Amino acid sequence: MVFVFSGMGAHWWGMGAELHRDEPVFRDAYDDVRALLPRVGGGPFGTPMRDPRDAQPAGFALQVALTELLRSRGVTPRAVVGHSFGELAAAWAAGALSLEQAAHIVSVRCRIEQQLAGRGAMLAVSGLRGAAFRGVGVAAVNGPASLTLTGAPPDIAAVSAQLGARGVTARPLAVSVAHHSAQLDPLRDEFLAGLGPIVPALPELPELTLYSTVDPGAVPDAEYWWRNVREPTRFGDALARLAEDGHDTFVEIGPHPTLSPLILEAIPGSTAVAPVRRGKPVAATLDRALHRLPAVV
């Protein structure tokens, strides 16, 4: 079983509120992160999420709390993978980062990227192979014909129109920052200075494998986390490695399933469940997901 930690774009106002109200394990873990973030340089955030500046810290808190809730229900992964920002929670779940280290990186990442708020847009594209567009970069390679593009809003809008005219599916993401774009380059030194030295923790569970979407085998130090911010997320490559290693059951850890369709497309015959879905009753959605997993049947 693989826990898949989603990135930006799945967040919504009020996410996690029902779980925070009804599930003590979730609430305690979520509140632990809320208390920790200000101590490592982050700002306070509320629950439910109400401010777009809260997307990363609230998303991280939700992923940590959902992981702990699933563990309390007997659902434990043998591998983890994270998409972009989600790789921080994945590294924590694998024991490669302590909770304090991961929260610190979340705080610095959020502070850096918010300097670019309003200057960026992103576009999820399906059915596109080998194309390049002026002024637009690739934020993520999610599969052979699935990309996320990033850039300034006018450039993304122009590409979206071009793709629409060609019949290519393109969906804008709910972000205002051009994540994984050249806009971040002037902020590299500030990011690394804010992080300081990051000494990866020794995994508590050595059999739990972290599948990198940056560089397989690389040490998750400060430079690695800059690459996680700046370079394209290679989620498709990580899925290929997971399939080669025989993984076929996936749990998407996030506020709404955005990666599950990519998993099912990339790994035929696989199972991908999402314990939380936007606009769906939380208790029923969680129970339905749990009953599809071998560990809790």
Longest dimension (CA), the chain: 51
- Which has the closest alpha carbon to 255: 291, 287, 282? 282
Find, among 117, 111, 113, the residue nearest to 43 by Cα. Answer: 111
What pLDDT shows up at residue 296?
44
For the chain, the straight-line distance linking the first and the last C-alpha, in angstroms and rounded, comes to 14
Each residue's pLDDT tens digit, 17-73: 899 999 999 999 999 998 998 777 666 666 655 566 678 888 999 999 999 999 999
CB 56 within 8 A of CB 105: no
Task: Say if residue 238 is in the same domain as residue 201.
Answer: yes
Which tokens sit at 147?
Answer: 């990309």
Query: Are 131 and 263 contained in the same domain?
Result: no
Give the pLDDT of residue 8. Answer: 82
- How, if at all, do strands 136-143 and 146-151 pair? antiparallel
Could you tell me the CATH number of the domain that includes residue 151?
Answer: 3.30.70
Dihedral (CA of 126, 130, 135, 141) sign: positive
| Same domain membership, residue 136 and residue 109 | no
Final residue in a domain of this structure, among 138, 172, 206: 172
CB 62 within 8 A of CB 31: no
Pair (111, 133) in one structural domain: no
Tell whether pTM > 0.85. yes
pLDDT higher for 71 or 279? Answer: 71
Q: Do 84 and 19 meet the contact criterion of CB atoms below 8 Å apart?
A: no
Are residues 261 and 142 in contact, defined by beta-carbon separation less than 8 angstroms?
no
Give which of 35, 63, 24 is closest to 252, Cα–Cα.
63
297/291 Cα distance (integer angstroms): 6
Domain span holding position 142 = 121-172
Q: What is the pLDDT of residues 62-72, one digit of tens each?
A: 999 999 999 99
Shared-domain flag, residues 145 and 242: no
The CATH number that applies at residue 30 is: 3.40.366.10
Residue listed under structure tokens 């080669």? 244
Same domain for 152 and 233, yes or no, is: no
How many CA atoms lie within 13 Å of 19's alpha carbon, on the beta-carbon side? 33
Q: What are phi and psi of 123, to 5 degrees?
A: -140, 125
Whole-number pLDDT of residue 46: 61
If one counts every other C-beta atom within 10 angstroms of the C-beta of residue 167, the result is 7
Model confidence at 279: pLDDT above 80: yes
In this structure, the answer to whether residues 259 and 290 fall within a common structural domain is yes
Same domain, 111 and 160: no
Number of domains in the chain: 2
The structure tokens listed for 27 are 């609430």
pLDDT > 70? residue 127: yes
pLDDT of residue 97: 92
